[in-house]
């Protein structure tokens, strides 16, 4: 093993393999390893040019003689080795004479280190397990490897971020996570550790990570290199800022993103959609956006309105604009074999291919194939169709659904992209999907860009992505899971996030239990980055099957407007439309901070109060911006709420006006019409 300096880079060379450790922005390092002659050039999520820093590399000669040789004849067996150190601001990488890497902060405190169980003659720690901290195992007959990277586990460590997973725990310590996208699951492999560092697994390959009590282990099934980014900071805010500086920051949220979005599965016709918007305005209710959901087209992959049900989109968009409402249109990446675009896209290689079996990826409402969002030509082709058929009719905001993509089944080993085998790069799909629309809109001169996307990966935020949590169930359990999903998406660097208010699947609008769930979820939605109603709302309307040009048409669920759930519930729901409006200036300021520093809009308590150890334990409430502590009611029948208040300041209940000292747990009233919100003392927002 040989270590040397190459510019500001520290290189560890051994046989065919090389490890590069180099400064990558403020207080940050990038680590790469290959066993190929040339390092793979993909930067993946690290798309932004890192800020230059005054990093320094140094070497030290050390005694590596085995202890049992220290005798009278010691000199005969005396050996020395070289240790290396790379310092970049608040982070230091130390490499032992055997090539083991450890990371420290500016105080000399260990952040994390590789997990090795081999011979270490300096520390007299000798084990025969032969487990290494990093390994690239060749996949025979290819240029790819199965990759495993191991790090030591720490009992006191808490781990946050990693994207969106459907389970209850905010702290991911102890979790085993699939590094792959599915409907309602978004793998965004950036974490913030309670030990004072952030870590990006900069690899879109399908794999797993286990944050075990004995070790942390990352695995990629098929890849060409190891690649990760690590950053040290005194606060979570500093860590997020440094991470977003190298992966890109979200732009400023468009003004219509600050208000209320109306949506259901699905408005079937132009007149039905306009009737809902007109009724909202007749009642004096605010609405900023209304969504035209899927199957407003004749065939998947046509990327245009069905003219029978949507006869005059230009007039529709114009009327909505005059009411102050933005039109949002669903786009799916599925292309039906009967679509007018299928032949051309297939001939040009714009569709995802299969290594075996037939080409169909999904057989719902037609035999369909996903377009290849990693292909620059396919990105441009789809945008040009949407430009012609939607943008030219006045539509500026797109709902990019099925962005995982939602294979049926998820046989990742069978699919192949322009960028490579799906096993190697599948997780970058939603980035390319959003990028095509972002760059297309930019080229048209648009400044206020937003795309609602059902998935994300690291770096998606720079393409104006609003991620939502997919087709989730209508239950209090699911609502509780969405809270941690939204908070962990924020900590993973995706500040624009929302969920389907009331859940997507299984909500019967006449059921009293569902109505209570909807009220509680709607209240919480008013304090999420984007406030958006959606759901299929059982039971579906019973209609005879409809066909247009031989293509079956999709029916619709029950009504999903604020007046659809009874008069008493309407009073509560409509009141929160005005709560959101009163908070508009505050939310705008939070969005500005997100675009400037990468700060999540909704975030765990520890983000703002890292010195309060109890804030790292709280998983059932959060900060909405720097001033508002929000405690959603997530149990049926609950009318009070226990809340921990961060220490060091006083808090005011936005509903009762009562004041509390921080550093204690209090129980506050939470009648059905109220979501508990506590304000920092000195803030005087009018909420209720």
- From 114, 471, 500, 612, active-site residue: 471
- Whether 585 and 645 map to the same domain: the answer is no
The answer to whether 148 and 217 have CB atoms below 8 angstroms apart is yes
Does residue 686 belong to any structural domain of this protein? no
- List pLDDT tens digits, range 229-283: 999 999 999 999 999 999 999 999 999 999 999 999 999 999 999 999 999 999 9
- From 114, 293, 302, 401, active-site residue: 401
- List pLDDT tens digits, range 435-474: 999 999 999 999 999 999 999 999 999 999 999 999 999 9
Does residue 53 belong to any structural domain of this protein? yes
- Whether 264 and 361 map to the same domain: the answer is yes
- Whether 554 and 474 map to the same domain: the answer is yes
Helix (H, G, I), strand (E, B) or coil at 462: helix
Helix (H, G, I), strand (E, B) or coil at 76: helix
CATH of the domain at 374: 3.20.20.80
Q: What is the pLDDT of residue 126?
A: 61
| Axis crossing angle, helix 567-582 with helix 584-597, rounded to the nearest 10 | 50
Last residue of a domain, one of 224, 247, 270: 247
Does residue 235 belong to any structural domain of this protein? yes
Rounded to whole angstroms, the Cα distance separating 222 from 183 reads 22
- The tokens for 551 are 């293509």
- Whether 11 and 155 map to the same domain: the answer is yes
Last residue of a domain, one of 213, 247, 281: 247
Active site residue 26: no
Exposure string for 15-28, b = 16+ CB within 10 A, e = fewer = eebbbbbbbbbbbb
Residue 366, sorted as left (phi over 0), alpha (psi -120 to 50) or beta, turns out to be left
- Whether 286 and 328 map to the same domain: the answer is yes
Asked if the peptide bond before residue 121 counts as cis, ω within 30 degrees of 0, the response is: no
Measured CA to CA in angstroms, residue 511 lies from 294, 517, 635 at distances of 26, 10, 16
- Whether 234 and 264 map to the same domain: the answer is no
Active site residue 635: no
- Whether 433 and 493 map to the same domain: the answer is yes
Number of domains comprising the chain: 3
> β-strands 2-6, 9-14: how paired?
antiparallel
- From 22, 26, 404, 536, active-site residue: 404
Q: What is the pLDDT of residue 63?
A: 80
Rounded to whole angstroms, the Cα distance separating 203 from 225 reads 8
Helix (H, G, I), strand (E, B) or coil at 451: strand
- Whether 58 and 202 map to the same domain: the answer is yes
- Whether 200 and 163 map to the same domain: the answer is yes
Measured CA to CA in angstroms, residue 196 lies from 109, 200, 237, 490 at distances of 10, 14, 11, 17
Range of the domain at 160: 2-247
Rounded to whole angstroms, the Cα distance separating 235 from 626 reads 14
Last residue of a domain, one of 247, 274, 291: 247
Does residue 271 belong to any structural domain of this protein? yes
CATH of the domain at 655: 2.60.40.1180
The answer to whether 426 and 180 have CB atoms below 8 angstroms apart is yes
Does residue 688 belong to any structural domain of this protein? no
Q: What is the pTM of this model?
A: 0.97
Rounded to whole angstroms, the Cα distance separating 81 from 96 reads 9
Rounded to whole angstroms, the Cα distance separating 68 from 542 reads 83
Q: What is the pLDDT of residue 166?
A: 98
Does residue 369 belong to any structural domain of this protein? yes
Does residue 103 belong to any structural domain of this protein? yes
Query: pLDDT under 70 in the chain at which residues?
Result: 65-78, 119-127, 543-544
Rounded to whole angstroms, the Cα distance separating 262 from 276 reads 9
How much helix, strand and coil, in percent to the nearest 5, is found in the chain? Answer: 25, 30, 45
Does residue 598 belong to any structural domain of this protein? no
The answer to whether 632 and 520 have CB atoms below 8 angstroms apart is yes
- Whether 240 and 266 map to the same domain: the answer is no
Q: What is the pLDDT of residue 555?
A: 84
Residue (of 144, 240, 658, 120) closest to 489 by Cα position: 240
Active site residue 508: no
Helix (H, G, I), strand (E, B) or coil at 228: strand
The answer to whether 53 and 30 have CB atoms below 8 angstroms apart is no
- Whether 25 and 111 map to the same domain: the answer is yes
- Whether 105 and 203 map to the same domain: the answer is yes
């Amino acid at each position: 093993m040989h270590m040397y300096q190459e510019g500001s880079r520290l290189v560890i060379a051994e046989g065919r393999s090389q490890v590069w450790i180099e400064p990558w922005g403020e207080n940050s390092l990038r680590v790469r390893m290959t066993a190929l002659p040339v390092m793979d050039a993909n930067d993946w999520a690290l798309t932004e040019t890192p800020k230059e820093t005054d990093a320094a590399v140094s070497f030290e000669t050390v005694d590596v003689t085995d202890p049992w040789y220290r005798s009278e004849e010691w000199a005969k067996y005396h050996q020395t080795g070289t240790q290396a150190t790379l310092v970049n601001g608040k982070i230091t990488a130390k490499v032992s004479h055997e090539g083991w890497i450890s990371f420290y902060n500016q105080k000399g405190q260990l952040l994390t280190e590789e997990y090795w169980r081999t011979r270490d003659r300096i520390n007299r720690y000798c084990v025969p397990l032969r487990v290494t901290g990093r390994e690239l195992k060749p996949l025979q007959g290819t240029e790819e490897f199965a990759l495993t990277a191991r790090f030591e586990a720490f009992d006191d460590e808490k781990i946050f971020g990693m994207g969106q997973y459907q389970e209850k725990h905010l702290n991911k310590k102890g979790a085993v996570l699939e590094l792959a996208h599915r409907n309602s699951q978004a793998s965004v492999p950036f974490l913030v550790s309670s030990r004072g560092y952030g870590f990006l697994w900069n690899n879109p390959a399908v794999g797993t990570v286990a944050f075990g009590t004995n070790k942390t282990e990352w695995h990629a099934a098929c890849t060409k290199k190891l690649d990760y980014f690590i950053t040290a900071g005194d606060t979570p805010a500093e860590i997020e800022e440094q991470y977003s500086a190298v992966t890109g920051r979200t732009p400023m949220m468009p003004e219509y993103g600050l208000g209320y979005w109306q949506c259901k599965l699905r408005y079937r016709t132009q007149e039905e959609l306009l009737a809902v918007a007109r009724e909202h305005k007749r009642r004096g209710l605010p609405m900023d956006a209304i969504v035209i959901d899927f199957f407003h087209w004749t065939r998947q992959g046509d990327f245009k309105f069905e003219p029978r049900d949507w006869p005059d989109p230009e007039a529709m968009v114009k009327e909505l604009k005059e009411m102050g409402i933005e039109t949002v249109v669903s786009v799916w990446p599925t292309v039906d074999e009967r679509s007018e675009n299928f032949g051309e896209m297939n001939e040009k290689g714009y569709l995802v291919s299969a290594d075996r079996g037939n080409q169909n990826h999904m057989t719902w409402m037609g035999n369909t194939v996903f377009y290849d969002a990693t292909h620059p030509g396919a990105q441009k082709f789809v945008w040009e169709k949407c430009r012609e058929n939607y943008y030219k009719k006045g539509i500026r905001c797109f709902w990019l659904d099925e962005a995982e993509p939602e294979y049926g089944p998820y046989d990742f080993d069978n699919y192949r992209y322009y960028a490579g085998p799906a096993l190697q790069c599948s997780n970058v799909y939603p980035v390319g999907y959003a990028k095509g629309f972002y760059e297309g809109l930019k080229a048209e001169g648009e400044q206020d860009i937003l795309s609602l996307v059902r998935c994300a990966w690291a770096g998606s935020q720079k393409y104006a992505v609003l991620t939502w949590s997919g087709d989730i169930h209508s239950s209090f359990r699911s609502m509780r899971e969405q809270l941690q999903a939204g908070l962990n998406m924020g900590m993973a660097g995706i500040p624009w996030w929302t969920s389907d208010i009331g859940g997507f699947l299984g909500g019967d609008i006449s059921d009293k239990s569902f109505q209570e769930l909807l009220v509680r979820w709607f209240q919480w939605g008013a304090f999420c980055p984007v406030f958006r109603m959606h759901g299929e709302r059982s039971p579906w309307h019973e209609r005879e099957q409809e066909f247009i040009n031989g293509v079956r048409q999709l029916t619709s669920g029950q009504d999903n407007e604020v007046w659809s759930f009874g008069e008493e519930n309407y009073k509560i729901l409509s009141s929160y439309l005005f709560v959101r409006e009163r908070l508009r200036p505050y939310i705008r300021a939070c969005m500005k901070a997100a675009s400037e520093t990468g700060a999540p809009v909704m975030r765990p308590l520890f983000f703002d109060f890292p010195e309060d150890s109890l804030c790292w334990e709280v998983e059932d409430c959060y900060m909405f911006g720097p001033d508002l502590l929000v405690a959603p009611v997530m149990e049926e029948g609950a009318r009070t709420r226990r809340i921990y208040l961060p220490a060091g300041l006083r808090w005011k209940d936005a509903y009762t006006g009562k004041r509390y000292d921080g550093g204690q747990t209090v129980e506050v009233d939470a009648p059905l019409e109220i979501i508990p919100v506590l304000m920092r003392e000195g803030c005087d927002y009018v909420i209720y």
